[in-house]
Structure 1
Amino acid sequence: MLHRTIKYDVQEVQPGRWRWNIYPGNRTVQGPVKFPSRELAVEACHGEINDGIERTRRQVARR
C-alpha cells in the first residue's frame, strides 16, 4: 500500500494484535505489536509517515 508515496503494510502478528511496517528506501521500520485491529494499525502508520515527513521538512528548513 502507499501513503504519500511511502510504501507500507500492516500485519497480524498474533490473533487480535497488529503492527505496521514502513519501507522507506531499502530498509524496514516496524511498529509495535499493540493494535487490536487492522484499521487502528493503518491509522497509526499514516500518522507515523506524516510525522516522519514533517520531521524531515523541519530538518531541511534549519539548514
Structure 2
Amino acid sequence: MAKEDTAARLLDMKPTEFRGLVEGGHLPAGREIAGIRRWDVEELRKIFRGEMADGGFEW
C-alpha cells in the first residue's frame, strides 16, 4: 500500500496530476485504512501494464 505521493511517483506523475485522475474516475480512489487513504501498489502496476483494462478503456 502506498500513500498518494508515492502512488503518483509509481506512475511518474506529480501528485496533483494523480489526484486529478483519481477525482476524474480514471484511477482507483484508493482504500481508507484507519482514516488514512492508501493505494494498492500491485493494482497500480496492473493499471500501467494494461492488465486492468476492461474493454472500454482507451489510452
Q: Same fold (TM over 0.5)?
A: no
Q: TM-score, normalization: structure 1?
A: 0.31
Q: TM-score, normalization: structure 2?
A: 0.32
Largest Rg, 1 or 2: 1
Greater relative contact order (CA < 8 Å, ≥ 6 in sequence): 2
Higher strand share: 1
